[in-house]
Chains A and B, each alone.
Chain A
């Protein structure tokens, strides 16, 4: 890469980065609690009110990678990239209905993770382990993708000093420093750190978005001109034909499947369980869509990038060569904004990577500690040991992700994340349906989970890990469907049949109906 560092841009960027680092360490003293206790370190003491939860979940669910990848998809493919908008709109009714129940039962029984709930509800250690393992494995590549988002921004800033480390090859030094800082304040402050930093991050994101949607179209000749510059056939989805329901069906199922996955990701559950009451969750279901507005406008940045002509501009050729369409948004900002504002916008994206990466690693640490370490390895561990294991795991997970990005191609992280979403959806019968009924046999749910994981993986494997929309053929009609939905249908079918064979309501249930509405 031959991008030149601009001193003004760099100063603004580093200043904001230093500010959030300070906040990250200060967070340990904010609403102080005993951080040698897992629910204080890993759930912020369940004390976050409506606004902190809003910032935390907003910073958590709308990640830096989303802000890079969604416009990149629109930039490259047009309309299909907009699926992120309906999916983030449609997840809120689900959040509103199901998650106050999860919060209440978790509060009553001291559950920290979704797998804790499954353990208590179905009395099955193996089903709980399956849920925990799915969460950890699916979240790891997601953390790696946050690093990819950050890598793109650091490269666009001209900060690319690599160091040759024997045995590792070239190591990206700024990325290493950023993640070391992140790892240490997460270790010392737990969930309080990303909660506090999310406030700064979200403000920067809103400032950037508002400036972009006013300033950039004004310079490019208005919104009409923006859409006229894009390939006209890409502005909508290809219609259905006599032999295929076409991309429209794939679009709808992708939106539906993605919303089912998003809220059972461990980082989402951690964010939701850290709120101070079920009312906070309900209120958030109504105020979180404000982030969907930002997301929709960010998706439109893809069209702005097309209209601005960054693709053919030799100044950005090396960036596109290194990162593909993921470079579209950084290139657009570099081309359109004054230097100081580029620093602010890039800081928004980079800090936007830190918040979800911190929460994801905390969520993984909670799962490992509660549902693997305490359940299987050291049942008699003290609360202090529990918290210190979690802190160490949060560091291991982050450096695992870092190693992943540095050593392997980022395409592996993208492919694994694609699979991760499909895997997460397979825990839905145990976690979400389990909130409403105890009808299923735990071994039946485990059989369904296995069927879902295997079939989902096979489908995506057959598509060479390039896409997750499987062209199902029914009576000569091609029905392009998101693989997660097909795998979930099989999952539930297997679970129902197995339950009918093995017997309903088997095993113990430590929860009572009143726990879900308390």
Chain B
């Protein structure tokens, strides 16, 4: 790496890996039950990660804006 002004790696960045693990491990959510308002698990689980993804991103955003 040739980028000299390197900040030390901060563990908050690990949060960004969570949505990838949750959504790319398909067998975990590839099922119909439990349903939510009649919607199969496969669909509402993935949709709930829209909010989950933002929740994982927000602390990283706060961290970066603080260090600027």
* Alpha-carbon distance A77/B37, docked complex (angstroms): 23
Which chain B residue has the least Cβ–Cβ distance from A505?
B2
Task: Tell me, yes or no, whether A97 is within 8 Å of chain B by CB.
Answer: yes
Evaluate contact between A93 and B53: CB separation under 8 angstroms. yes
Evaluate contact between A282 and B32: CB separation under 8 angstroms. no
Evaluate contact between B16 and A86: CB separation under 8 angstroms. no
Which DSSP category, helix, strand, loop or mixed, fits chain A's interface? helix
CB under 8 Å from chain A, chain B span 13-68: 16, 19-20, 23-27, 30-32, 35, 37-40, 42-43, 46-47, 49-51, 53-54, 56-58, 60-61, 64-65
Which chain A residue has the least Cβ–Cβ distance from B43?
A82
Contact with B along A175-199 (1 / 0, CB 8 A): 0000000000000000000000000
* Alpha-carbon distance A86/B61, docked complex (angstroms): 21
Contact partners of B4 in chain A: CB under 8 A: 513
**How far, in Å, is B37 (CB) from chain A's closest CB?**
5
Task: Tell me, yes or no, whether A79 is within 8 Å of chain B by CB.
Answer: yes
Task: Tell me, yes or no, whether B5 is within 8 Å of chain A by CB.
Answer: yes
Q: Which of B24, B32, B47, B65 contacts A236 (CB 8 A)?
A: B32
CB under 8 Å from chain B, chain A span 183-241: 222-227, 232, 235-237, 239-240
* Alpha-carbon distance A173/B43, docked complex (angstroms): 40
Task: Tell me, yes or no, whether A62 is within 8 Å of chain B by CB.
Answer: no
Q: How many residues of B contact A (CB 8 A)?
A: 37
Evaluate contact between A248 and B26: CB separation under 8 angstroms. yes
- Given A96-B57, A236-B42, A296-B47, A248:B19 Cβ within 8 A: no
* Alpha-carbon distance A248/B4, docked complex (angstroms): 42
Contact with B along A83-123 (1 / 0, CB 8 A): 00110011011001100000000000000000000000000
Chain A interface: which size bin?
35 or more
* Alpha-carbon distance A237/B25, docked complex (angstroms): 13
Evaluate contact between B50 and A252: CB separation under 8 angstroms. no
Contact partners of A239 in chain B: CB under 8 A: 27, 30
Which of A16-24, A286-294, A406-414 faces chain B? A286-294
Evaluate contact between A85 and B53: CB separation under 8 angstroms. no
Task: Tell me, yes or no, whether A416 is within 8 Å of chain B by CB.
Answer: no
A-B residue pairs in contact (CB < 8 Å), sample of 7: A89-B23, A235-B42, A236-B30, A252-B24, A252-B25, A286-B57, A513-B4
Known A79-B30, A89-B46, A89-B53; further 7 A-B contacts with Cβ < 8 A = A90-B20, A93-B16, A237-B42, A289-B54, A296-B43, A436-B3, A438-B2
The chain A residues found within 8 Å of chain B, CB to CB, are 79, 82, 85-86, 89-90, 92-93, 96-97, 222-227, 232, 235-237, 239-240, 248-249, 251-252, 255-256, 279, 282-283, 285-286, 289, 292-293, 296, 300, 436-439, 505, 513-514, 516-517
